[in-house]
Chain A
Amino acid sequence: MEADRVERGTRASRAFAVIAAPVLVALVTLPWWWGDPGWMRLIAEMAYYLALAQLWNLLAGYAGLVSVGQQAYVGLGGYALFYLTGPANVNLYLALLLAGPFAGLIAIPVSFAVFRLRGAYFAIGTWVVSEVFALLASLILVLGAGSGLSLTVPILRQISSDRDVRDAVLYLMSLAVAALVFAIVYLLLRSRHGLALTAIRDSEPASASLGVNTFRTKFIVYLVTAACTGLIGALIFLQKLRISPEAGFSINDWTVVVIFMVVIGGIGTLEGPFVGMLIYIMLRELLADYGTIYLILMGAIAIAVMLKAPFGIWGWVVQRYNVQLFPVGRRLVLTASKASER
């Protein structure tokens, strides 16, 4: 006789996996069948933004750590890469591997300061920290001070001397990092910590009273997101070839836009950042010619969504159709014989 079992997938998630698999294969093999550099760059950017959005969603949507200072780790990761490959003469791949842990290491002392603040004050506190890093970078001569650093051609040759190959490698790295970050976030949420995080998301006092160590859980999430953000930062600026304090620690580029995606898409869900990222990129590509008007429109959309649909587009879909493409919960499935006994 079949026993009752706990199921984690849903019908929608299995159907989605079937549809998503060929899309993924097409994306990964793109350089071989359609190596257009412009498109590869756009898709790479989407991959980075998706990863940043997943991380911010993990921080703010689950752990309740509404940071507006994640640009600190983007900049730190970027600067780590440029310093290590340039002045310190380290191999490019080794430098990429070190950028994430470096950002994670810096996050430890930072957390001592900012974890003393709650709520919105935490948000602005993280912003101040990021400003400190930006100002420090603009003062340190070996980091190029205010004008920043560039990656030289010999460093890029470590990837390949052929430009097409280089483009393809950078593109594949962006997909890999997006997949890695997604896997980390997904597995973390499906683990014991994920249960704790979901509980904290729904009610922090209640989860603490049930024995969840909220401080430790948040601390782990903060460090993991910092390290991943640092790695993404290194890759973003590897593609841009130049870093400056303003570009590296830009709150608009690396945090405001990311918050926009998560909020529009649906905070506190894994699907939301996907939806938000796609909408953001589409809006941007459509409206980029309008400059400031487009940013005003973004601000207005963010306000409207927050007031009318606070859980974003995906939140609305879940409410209406109860679909989960990336299920993290557990459901008890009763076998037929037992179900008929009741």
Chain B
Amino acid sequence: MNWLNILVQGGLLGGFYALFAIGLSMSFGIMRLVNIAHGDLIVLSAYVALIVTESTGLDPFLSTIVVVPVMFALGYALQRGLLNQTLSGGLLPPLLVTFGISIIIQNGLLQIFGAYDHRLKEGAIETASLQLPGGLAIGAYPILVFAVAVFAIASMQLLFYRTRLGRAFRAVSDDADTAELMGIDNRKLFAMALGIAMVFTALAGILFGIRTIFAPSAGPIRLILAFEAVIIGGLGSLWGTLIGGVVLGIAQTIGAALDPNWQILAGHLAFLAILVARPSGLFPRTRD
């Protein structure tokens, strides 16, 4: 087994999972919303990109200029129209409403696109790779995805700690009621937060759709992977989420090196082991 190779490939795979996880981490951090439909929204983004590329002939990367605003608007509307109503009544309402949204998205996609596998085609970059000394070959695409993940997290940090909007987000996250007394309109702010979370969800969806085939049922496993990255990294810490993704990616790559069937299982087991050893994750920040 080539350990260096496993670490590098697994780490890069982790960039993917971190990208899946940012939206989830953000909606939890700000409004304590666990969005069960998160995975389905990633898949929905890939389908929106598919519609855009097929109807306009745009390249999938360029489809971002359409997909991102569409998903932002969807996120804003979902929070404003539905999810805001669920946030005062405890745990079950948001869970069940997002469960309902998940079922609607999955079956809506099934109704429109059928159960077939689809894929976004980006061309040469999908298979290009860098040859490093020591016989190590790294795919250009995983490097790109990892870079997007790092860029996304860095820009989130800037947003949170350098802007007025970010200050409002942090205030609401610390204490929503007091923030409201200070003149923040929580309902609008939450809608903004889910909108921004969906921007990253859209990016994740497009990059995911280029990397692998997708079908309407592909959402739930993305949700689980994103969730594992968030928990391993520790709630509320975005860089922690990146590390959580990397840990998960490496665990999966080790599993896959032993037997291709063990990839996902190895990730789940690593997650459960970390949960038992360090229940609040590696770098916890927000308190539940």
Q: Which residues of A contact B (CB under 8 A)?
A: 60, 64, 66, 112-113, 116-121, 123-125, 127-129, 131-132, 135-136, 138-139, 251, 256, 259, 263, 267, 292-293, 295-296, 298-300, 302-303, 306-307, 310
Contacts and interface: CB of A to CB of B under 8 A. Distances in A.
Nearest to B269: A132
A292 to B, nearest CB: 4
B279 A117 contact: yes
A124 B262 contact: no
12 contacts: A66-B92, A121-B231, A124-B227, A125-B275, A131-B224, A138-B261, A295-B106, A296-B107, A296-B111, A299-B100, A299-B102, A307-B93
Nearest to B109: A292
B85 to A, nearest CB: 5
A66 B271 CA distance: 20
A303 B82 CA distance: 9
B275 A307 contact: no
B223 to A, nearest CB: 7
Given A299-B101, A306-B86, 9 more contacts: A66-B95, A116-B279, A120-B34, A292-B108, A296-B104, A303-B101, A307-B93, A307-B97, A310-B92
Chain A interface main SS type: helix
Contacts of B269: 132
B272 A132 contact: yes
B272 A128 contact: yes
B103 A119 contact: no
B97 A306 contact: yes
Nearest to B225: A128
Contact of A121 (B89, B92, B272, B288): B288
A119 B86 contact: no
A267 B91 CA distance: 13
B97 A113 contact: no
A247 to B, nearest CB: 15
A128 B228 contact: yes
B111 A119 contact: no
A241 B41 CA distance: 36
Contacts of B262: 139
B110 A292 contact: yes
A256 B103 contact: yes
B34 A112 contact: no
Interface residues of B, number: 42
Nearest to B103: A299
B94 interface: yes
A62 to B, nearest CB: 13
A123 B95 CA distance: 9
A39 B49 CA distance: 47
Contacts of A127: 224
Contacts of A116: 275-276, 279
B220 interface: yes
Contacts of A112: 276
Interface in B69-90: 82, 85-86, 89
A296 B40 CA distance: 14
A187 to B, nearest CB: 25
Contacts of A121: 34, 227, 231, 288
B121 interface: no
Nearest to B115: A292
A135 B264 contact: yes
Contacts of A131: 224, 264, 268
Contact of A292 (B95, B111, B220, B265): B111
A303 B272 contact: no
B99 interface: yes
Contacts of B264: 131, 135
B159 interface: no
B279 to A, nearest CB: 4
A231 B217 CA distance: 29
A133 B23 CA distance: 28
B219 to A, nearest CB: 12
Contacts of B228: 128
B183 to A, nearest CB: 28
B265 A136 contact: yes
Given A117-B279, A139-B262, A303 B111 contact: no
B51 interface: no
B107 A117 contact: no
B96 interface: yes
B19 to A, nearest CB: 18
A259 B82 CA distance: 19
Given A116-B275, A300-B100, A310 B89 contact: yes
